[in-house]
Amino acid sequence: MRIEDYALIGDMQSAALVGRDGSIDWLCLPRFDSPSCFAALLGSERNGHWWLGPTGRKPATRRRYRPDTLILESEWDTPTGTVRVIDFMPPRDRNPDVVRIVEGVSGSVEVSTQLRVRFDYGRIVPWVRRTNGHLQAIGGPDSVWLHSPVPLKGGDYAHRATFTVKEGERLPFVFTWHPSHEQMPPQIHCEDQLTDTEAYWTDWVSKCTYQGPHREAVVRSLITLKGLTYAPTGGIVAAPTTSLPEDIGGVRNWDYRFCWLRDATLTLDALISSGYLEEAADWRAWLLRAIAGRPQDLQIMYGVAGERRLPELRLDWLDGYEDSRPVRIGNEAVRQLQLDVYGEVMNCLYVSRKSGLSPDERGWTIQRQLLDYVEDHWQEPDEGLWEVRGPRRHFVHSKVMCWAALDRAVKYVENFGRSGPVDKWRTLRDVVHAEICDKGFDKERNTFTQSYGSSELDAALLMIPIVGFLPADDPRVVGTVAAIEKELMSDGFVLRYPLAEDNNVDGLAGGEGAFLACSFWLVEVMAMQGRKEEAEELFERLLALRNDVGLLAEEYDTRYDRLVGNFPQAFSHVPLVHAARALSS
C-alpha cells in the first residue's frame, strides 16, 4: 500500500499504522521507539502484521475517524452486506492494548483475520501457545496476548480465522503487550474502553480555542500532534515511523521516533496557540530534565524519556518500504551541531510564558546558560536544520535563530522582570543582525541565500519574517520570497533547497519530494504580505494532499503524485495549524 493508505491509532505512548485493507503493518511496543512486533511496512507480511476484514482482502469502501477522536472506523460494502471494523488504542492505564471490534452493519458478511507476531523488527519468531482459549506469543523480553471470542488456528507461523458477522453483531479482538517475565495482565472490557476513549478525545478537543476557517483540518492536525506525545514524560516524537523514504527506492531513510527540540518546540507553539497550556507545562518539564547539565552538551534530539544515546544501526534483514534501503533505527544526526535549536527553544519558552505558563526559576537559569553558549558559538558553521551530512556551513537560518535566541532573552527580561545582562544581549543581537544582512544577503539578486557566500536558496529563509527578524514587507524579504517562488518550487510546491550533482550540500545521493512544511511556511508569509488570495489557493492545494483521514507525511513527490517520508509527520501538521491561523487573521 502507499504511505497515504495508512491511518494512525495510538495511546500517547506508542502508535500503530492501519492500512486501508484492514492490516496493521506497523506497531512498536511498549514505546514509540521500541522494537516493532509488526514490521510489514518495512518488509513483508512475514515480518509481522495483523489483517482483519472481509474475506478476499480488498480496500475499505470508506473509512473515517469518529469526530474529534483518534478512533478509526473502516467499512466494507460486500455483495452480502456491510461490515465495519473499529480500531483504537485506549489511553494507557498499565499495559498497551490494541482493540479491534468487528461490527455487522447490514446483511451477513464473511470476515477473515491473519495474525503474524514478529518481535525485534520482524526478526524474532515467537513461541505461541494457547491458554484458556487465549493466544500468547513470547519472544525474549516481549509477550503479547490476543483475546477474542473468535478462535484462531495456527499454521505456517501465523494464526487465522474465518467467521460470519450478521447485522447488529459485535465481535471484539484485544491485542495486549506486557514484559514476558510478568503474569498475564487483566483483560479490559472493550465496549467500556471504547466509550472512555471517545470521551477522552472529545473532551480534549473541546478545549481547543481555534474557531477560524479550516477548523476541521486544524483539529485533525492537533489530534495527530497529541497522538505523537509521549504522555509519561511530555516528550513529542517527530513521527511514529522509521525509514519511510523521502525518495522511493533511495537511501534517504531516517528514524523519526525521537524528540527533536526543533519539532517539539514548533509543536508546542501550535498547541499553545490553540489553548493547550497543560501540554506546554509537561513539555517544559521534559525539556529541563533532558537538557540539564552543561549547555555545550545540548543535543538536537533525545529519546522520549530524555535518553541521549541514539546509535544509528541498519536492519539488513528488512527489504525496506518498496525496496528503499537501508532501514535504519537510531539517528546519527544526534551528534550534529545545529545552532538554530537554541533559538527555537528560547522562542518556545518565551511564548509559553507569554501565554500564561507559570514562571520556573530553574528554567531561566538553564536559559541563561544556553545564551552563554550562543554568545560564544554563534559565529561557527553548523549542519543546519536540515541535518546535512555534508560539510558544515554558515547557514543563514541558523544565524537568524541565534538572533531569535537573543531577541527572546531581551523580551523575557523586558516583559517578565527577569535578571540578566540585557544590554549585552541587545548589543550582540544587533551585531548578529548586521552580519546576517551583510554576509547572508545577495544584493545583486535581492535575496538572502542558504549560507554565507553561497548562491543557493533555502526554503528555511521563509522563517525570516515569521520569527520577526525582518518585516514581511521589507524589500529584502519580498525579494527572497520571489526568488524562492521562482527557483525552489516544483509543480506548485516548495523544495527545501536545490538538489543537483554539483551541489553536495547534504552529502547524500538521490532526490526527494517537496517538503510540505516549506509550502505551509510560504502560505504563512504570503498571508503576512497581504497576498491572501494566493495564500488561500496554495493552502487549499496543500490540504488536498492529505489522505482520506486528514494525515500528511513529511513530503509530497510530484513525480508520482504520492506522499513520501515518515508518516504522519509532526513537522507537516504543525505549520498547517500556523498557516490556518495566519489566514484567519
In this predicted model, what pLDDT tens digit does every residue of 273-287 receive, in sequence order? 899 988 888 888 888
pLDDT digits (tens, 9 = 90+) for 518-551: 999 999 999 999 999 999 999 999 999 999 999 9
Mean pLDDT of all residues belonging to the chain: 94
Kindly state whether residues 245 and 393 are assigned to the same domain. Answer: yes
Q: Look at residue 288 in the predicted model and tell me its pLDDT.
A: 81
Q: Look at residue 311 in the predicted model and tell me its pLDDT.
A: 95
CATH number where 175 lies: 2.70.98.10
504 pLDDT above the threshold of 90: no
What does the pLDDT average to over 278-304? 84
d(CA 276, CA 268): 8
What does the pLDDT average to over 438-456? 96
pTM tops 0.75: yes
Kindly state whether residues 355 and 245 are assigned to the same domain. Answer: yes
pLDDT digits (tens, 9 = 90+) for 109-168: 999 999 999 999 999 999 999 988 899 999 999 999 999 999 999 999 999 999 999 999
Query: 581 with 210: CB under 8 angstroms?
Result: yes
Kindly state whether residues 130 and 268 are assigned to the same domain. Answer: no
d(CA 85, CA 57): 13
Kindly state whether residues 423 and 534 are assigned to the same domain. Answer: yes
Confidence of residue 366 (pLDDT cuts 50, 70, 90): confident
Query: 240 with 257: CB under 8 angstroms?
Result: yes
Do the domain assignments include residue 2? no
15 pLDDT above the threshold of 80: yes
Buried b (16+ CB within 10 A) or exposed e, 523-537: bbbbbbbebeeebbe
Query: 140 with 119: CB under 8 angstroms?
Result: yes
241 pLDDT above the threshold of 70: yes
Kindly state whether residues 478 and 514 are assigned to the same domain. Answer: yes
Last residue of a domain, one of 202, 224, 258: 202
Kindly state whether residues 382 and 495 are assigned to the same domain. Answer: yes
501 pLDDT above the threshold of 60: no
Kindly state whether residues 191 and 260 are assigned to the same domain. Answer: no
Q: Which of 265-274, 326-335, 340-349, 504-513 has the lowest mean pLDDT?
A: 504-513
Q: Look at residue 507 in the predicted model and tell me its pLDDT.
A: 60
pLDDT digits (tens, 9 = 90+) for 566-579: 999 999 999 999 99
Percent of the chain with pLDDT over 70: 98
Determine the structural domain holding residue 136 and report its residue range: 9-202
Q: Look at residue 498 in the predicted model and tell me its pLDDT.
A: 84
Handedness of CA 571, 576, 582, 585 (dihedral sign): negative
Kindly state whether residues 198 and 216 are assigned to the same domain. Answer: no
Kindly state whether residues 510 and 549 are assigned to the same domain. Answer: yes
450 Cβ neighbours under 8 A, 6+ residues apart: 393, 395, 396, 456, 457, 458, 461, 497, 505
473 pLDDT above the threshold of 60: yes
510 pLDDT above the threshold of 70: no
Q: Look at residue 292 in the predicted model and tell me its pLDDT.
A: 77
Confidence of residue 81 (pLDDT cuts 50, 70, 90): very high
d(CA 513, CA 543): 16
Kindly state whether residues 21 and 50 are assigned to the same domain. Answer: yes
Q: Look at residue 506 in the predicted model and tell me its pLDDT.
A: 63
Last residue of a domain, one of 186, 202, 218: 202
Helix (H, G, I), strand (E, B) or coil at 216: helix
Confidence of residue 324 (pLDDT cuts 50, 70, 90): very high
The CA radius of gyration of the chain, in Å to the nearest whole number, is 24
Q: Look at residue 261 in the predicted model and tell me its pLDDT.
A: 87
Kindly state whether residues 462 and 529 are assigned to the same domain. Answer: yes
170 pLDDT above the threshold of 90: yes
What does the pLDDT average to over 345-353? 90
Do the domain assignments include residue 399? yes
- C-alpha grid cell, residue 123: 526478526
Q: How many domains are contained in the chain? A: 2
d(CA 559, CA 570): 23
pLDDT digits (tens, 9 = 90+) for 190-216: 999 999 999 999 999 999 999 999 999
Kindly state whether residues 450 and 372 are assigned to the same domain. Answer: yes
The residue type at 493: F
d(CA 226, CA 274): 12
Last residue of a domain, one of 159, 179, 202: 202
